[in-house]
């Protein structure tokens, strides 16, 4: 009984401390396959094989109810503490090679995600790429603004030069 309570407390903390939690089914995967999954997401997440009843209790304790109907069969939870998109990509790529790993659903920042929404997350570009695109857009906007501010000044200089030349030729 004490072991179950400790496991529930540990899972509850994992739910609360994660920015996202993804539910998978791993029926038929070998231990070596599970190790590959763990290795592919190790930088941003942890992969935990769980007992469904304990996971349901822990999820409820953490205020998450979207897993209630999905926790059936051999389940594993992916507790994301880093880049959610990178983890979703890694799981998607692994499940393409090993269709026995099934993404069921998830929770991201408290919002329930369907399996389809998790796949859409995987299709997003990485955080670094999105930040680089944003920086490029800012740079282009700043360049445009600088050009806009310099244009009247350079036009005024050309006008003054033309007037000066006209006065010199007239005199």
- Mean pLDDT of the chain, nearest integer: 83
pLDDT(19) > 70: yes
pLDDT(26) > 70: yes
Provide the token pair at 106.
């998830």
Task: Give CA–CA dist 87/78, Å, rounded.
Answer: 9
Q: Is 91 exposed, middle or buried (0-12, 13-18, 19+ CB in 10 A)?
A: buried
Going by pLDDT thresholds of 50, 70 and 90, the confidence category of residue 123 is confident
Q: Which CATH class is domain 2-124?
A: alpha beta
The confidence score (pLDDT) of residue 116 equals 84
pLDDT(129) > 90: no
Task: Give CA–CA dist 149/155, Å, rounded.
Answer: 11
Convert the pLDDT of each residue in 60-87 to its tens digit: 888 888 777 788 888 899 999 988 888 8
Q: What is the mean pLDDT of residues 154-164?
A: 76
pLDDT(122) > 90: no
Q: Pick the residue with more confidence: 20 or 166?
A: 20
DSSP string, 80-101: ESS-HHHHHHHHHHHHHH-TTS
Convert the pLDDT of each residue in 42-63 to its tens digit: 899 999 888 988 989 888 888 8
DSSP 109: T
């Amino acid at each position: 009984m004490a072991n179950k309570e400790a496991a529930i407390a540990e899972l509850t903390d994992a739910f609360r401390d994660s920015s996202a939690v993804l539910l998978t089914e791993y029926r038929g995967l070998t231990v070596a396959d599970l190790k590959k999954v763990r290795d592919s997401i190790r930088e941003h997440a942890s992969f935990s094989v769980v007992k469904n009843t304990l996971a349901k209790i822990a999820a409820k304790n953490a205020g998450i109810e979207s897993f209630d109907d999905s926790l059936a069969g051999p389940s594993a939870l992916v507790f994301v503490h880093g880049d959610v998109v990178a983890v979703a990509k890694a799981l998607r790529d692994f499940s393409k090679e090993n269709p026995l790993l099934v993404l069921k659903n998830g929770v991201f920042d408290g919002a329930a995600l369907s399996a389809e929404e998790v796949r859409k997350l995987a299709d997003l570009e990485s955080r670094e790429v999105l930040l680089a695109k944003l920086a490029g857009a800012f740079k282009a906007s700043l360049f445009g603004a600088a050009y806009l501010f310099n244009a009247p000044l350079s036009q005024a200089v050309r006008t003054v030069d033309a007037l000066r030349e006209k006065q010199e030729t007239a005199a």
